[in-house]
């Protein structure tokens, strides 16, 4: 086939055939594109982006006139170091981790509007902006105490901002909060002061409780003593009343038992034989009559 009439090889024909085979191979290879798993393809025809995407698998394209830009639709983890000012004007440094992916049907729009560097053009600036907007609503202390709520707000804000562009945020986490050295020192001093105040209040409350217990104990003792005195006084008064009643009864019986003869007898019994020098009234023993 490649020989001349004289039987010699035709170099020109051989070269042309090799070139033709190479061109065919190049055209064949350039006409086929394979989209790997987890990716989609954006078809660009002479610089114009087609408004549809190529899914996973093998596709045919026009060699030299068309090219395919592959878009990774798998979840990508991005960590961003950023700063913001809190509501009380404290400088907050944060490390934010965002897991996101490209919507499989929006790859052409992202490439057309943002280009292949969409992460630096849209994602990273959006994280900075959202962090500043959320942190400005909280004081530095509440950012620590309400960290979970802040994380939820950041997640909601970043989703609302990027989803219309075809970037879907799967998850957002605050890896680290950091504050200025001055603020940290101020917080430590405040905590020490609060602990001292709590300790002082506790000691005061303990002293009050002890004093109240002692006063109550004294009151109980005084009430008991007063009660005992009342009981003793009542018993004494009752005893005196009983003794007085008994004495009165004895006197009454004694008075009933006394007679005139008994009185005279007792008087004579106790008389020493001497007459009194002064006499008033009558003598039960002798009656004197001076006119006799």
Instruction: Say what the pLDDT of residue 130 is.
Output: 93
Q: Which of 24-38, 109-123, 208-222 has the lowest mean pLDDT?
A: 24-38
Residues whose CB is less than 8 angstroms from the CB of residue 3 and which lie 6 or more positions away in sequence, other chains included: 9, 10
For 139-195, write each residue's pLDDT tens digit.
Answer: 888 888 888 888 899 999 999 999 898 999 999 998 888 887 777 676 667 766 777
pTM confidence score: 0.55
Please provide the DSSP assignment of the chain as one string.
Answer: --B-TTS-B-HHHHHHHHHHHHHHHHHHHHTEEEEPTTEEEEEEETTEEEEEEE-SEEEE--TTTEEEEEEE-S-EEEEEEEEEE-TT--EEEEEEEEEEEE-TTSHHHHHHHH-TTHIIIIIHHHHHHHHHHHHTTS-HHHHHHTHHHHHHHHHHHHHHHHGGGTEEEEEEEEEEEEE-HHHHHHHHHHHHHHHHHHHHHHHHHHHHHHHHHHHHHHHHHHHHHHHHHHHHHHHHHHHHHHHHHHHHHHHHHHHHH--HHHHHHHHHHT--SPPPSS--S--SS----TT-
63 and 133 inside one domain: no
35 and 109 inside one domain: no
Domain membership flag for residue 112: yes
68 and 83 inside one domain: no
Tokens of 23: 């061109």
CA–CA separation, 32 and 23 (whole Å): 14
Percent of the chain with pLDDT over 90: 20
Domain membership flag for residue 292: no
Domain membership flag for residue 18: yes
82 and 154 inside one domain: yes
139 and 174 inside one domain: yes
- Asked if the model's pLDDT at residue 6 lies above 70, the reply is no
Domain membership flag for residue 188: no
Domain membership flag for residue 6: no
Q: Residue 211's domain spans which residues?
A: 198-268
94 and 171 inside one domain: yes
Tokens of 284: 């039960």
pLDDT (average), residues 280-289: 51
Domain boundary among 119, 148, 179: 179
95 and 163 inside one domain: yes
162 and 226 inside one domain: no
Domains: count for the chain: 3
83 and 175 inside one domain: yes
Domain membership flag for residue 284: no
pLDDT (average), residues 98-106: 92
- Asked if the model's pLDDT at residue 66 lies above 90, the reply is no
Domain membership flag for residue 191: no
As a whole number, the mean pLDDT across the chain is 80
pLDDT (average), residues 49-77: 87
């Amino acid at each position: 086939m490649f020989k001349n009439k004289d039987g010699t090889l035709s170099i020109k024909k051989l070269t042309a055939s090799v070139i033709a085979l190479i061109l065919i191979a190049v055209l064949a290879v350039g006409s086929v594109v394979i989209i790997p798993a987890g990716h989609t393809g954006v078809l660009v025809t002479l610089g114009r982006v087609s408004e549809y995407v190529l899914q996973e698998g093998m596709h045919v394209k026009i060699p030299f006139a068309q090219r395919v830009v592959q878009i990774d639709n798998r979840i990508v983890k991005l960590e961003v170091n950023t700063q913001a000012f809190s509501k009380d004007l404290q400088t907050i440094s944060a490390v934010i981790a965002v897991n996101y992916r490209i919507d499989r049907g929006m790859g052409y729009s992202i490439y057309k509007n943002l280009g292949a560097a969409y992460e630096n053009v849209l994602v990273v600036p959006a994280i900075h902006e959202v962090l500043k907007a959320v942190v400005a609503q909280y004081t530095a202390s509440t950012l620590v105490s309400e960290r979970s709520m802040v994380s939820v707000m950041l997640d909601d804000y970043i989703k609302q901002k990027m989803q219309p562009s075809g970037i879907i945020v799967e998850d957002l986490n605050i890896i680290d909060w950091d504050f200025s050295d001055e603020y940290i020192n101020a917080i430590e001093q405040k905590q020490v002061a609060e602990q001292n105040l709590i300790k002082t209040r506790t000691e005061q409350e303990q002293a009050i409780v002890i004093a109240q217990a002692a006063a109550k104990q004294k009151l109980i003792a005084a009430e008991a003593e007063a009660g005992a005195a009342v009981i003793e006084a009542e018993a004494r008064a009752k005893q005196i009343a009983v003794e007085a009643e008994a004495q009165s009864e004895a006197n009454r019986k004694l008075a009933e038992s006394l007679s005139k003869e008994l009185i005279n007898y007792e008087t004579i019994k106790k008389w020493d034989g001497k007459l009194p020098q002064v006499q008033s009234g009558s003598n039960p023993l002798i009656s004197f009559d001076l006119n006799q």
